[in-house]
Chain A
Amino acid sequence: NAGVTQTPKFQVLKTGQSMTLQCAQDMNHNSMYWYRQDPGMGLRLIYYSASEGTTDKGEVPNGYNVSRLNKREFSLRLESAAPSQTSVYFCASRDRKYGYTFGSGTRLTVV
């Protein structure tokens, strides 16, 4: 029972490089989310997907794109990484009744 799996766990990018953070859940949840965690800022919502085929912006979407490939997978793409995107990124999924199940996070450093 893996829950929510994120890859990679760590990544260092140069400014301007692109990359995709992968997320998959095996709980048959409809809703999936991407958050970033920064010191003193808590967790802030980047994008979410209420169901397969739909995506919506959250609180801090600028500089990111997402794809809900199927019910299981929800990826986050940085097209041109900036130092301000240095953060820890968490993917989560949600069932109808309870709160979120989070992945273990991706620690991204942009230099």
Chain B
Amino acid sequence: DQQVKQNSPSLSVQEGRISILNCDYTNSMFDYFLWYKKYPAEGPTFLISISSIKDKNEDGRFTVFLNKSAKHLSLHIVPSQPGDSAVYFCAASPLGTGTASKLTFGTGTRLQVTL
């Protein structure tokens, strides 16, 4: 039972264009959502997050959109750069469960930004 789904295993985008990575979730208790970026042979690193009280959060070239009614979030990268090539994981957590809040991760999308 995959509660967080990333249906696109891979995505290829030209440098300078927009990259859109999608994520769907099924658990209505999830209130906090994060995106992580992972390079080969490294651990995932935090990229951007959004709580359910917002529908958009922006940080430089990265914007996350949340549609609670559709249980869908997306990560937009504009403009895409070759250094953005990595695996991106969507993650979700219920709020209000204290510091032990466990993140549930999606299966990841491998983004390749071509020249």
Contact = CB atoms under 8 A, between A and B. Distances in A.
A43 B89 contact: yes
A92 B46 CA distance: 12
Which of B34, B45, B107: most chain A CB closer than 10 A? Answer: B107
B11 interface: no
Interface residues of B, number: 25
Contacts of B41: 104-105
A4 B43 contact: yes
Q: How large is the interface on A (under 10, 10 to 19, 20 to 34, 35 or more residues)?
A: 20 to 34
A105 B42 contact: yes
Contacts of A48: 100, 102
B108 to A, nearest CB: 6
Contacts of B4: 42
Given A42-B105, A43-B105, A31 B44 contact: no
B49 A41 contact: no
B100 A50 contact: yes
Interface stretch (A70-78, A79-87, A95-103): A95-103
Nearest to A30: B99
Nearest to A9: B41
A99 B36 contact: yes
Given A40-B107, A42-B107, A43-B89, A102 B102 contact: no
Contacts of A102: 43-45
A58 interface: yes
Contacts of B9: 40
Contacts of B44: 43, 90, 100, 102
A100 B46 contact: yes
Interface in B66-109: 89, 91, 98-108
A15 B64 CA distance: 44
Contact of A99 (B34, B107, B108): B34
A58 B104 CA distance: 10
Nearest to B33: A99
B43 A50 contact: no
Given A42-B89, A43-B44, A43-B89, A98 B49 contact: yes
Given A105-B41, A105-B43, A42 B106 contact: yes
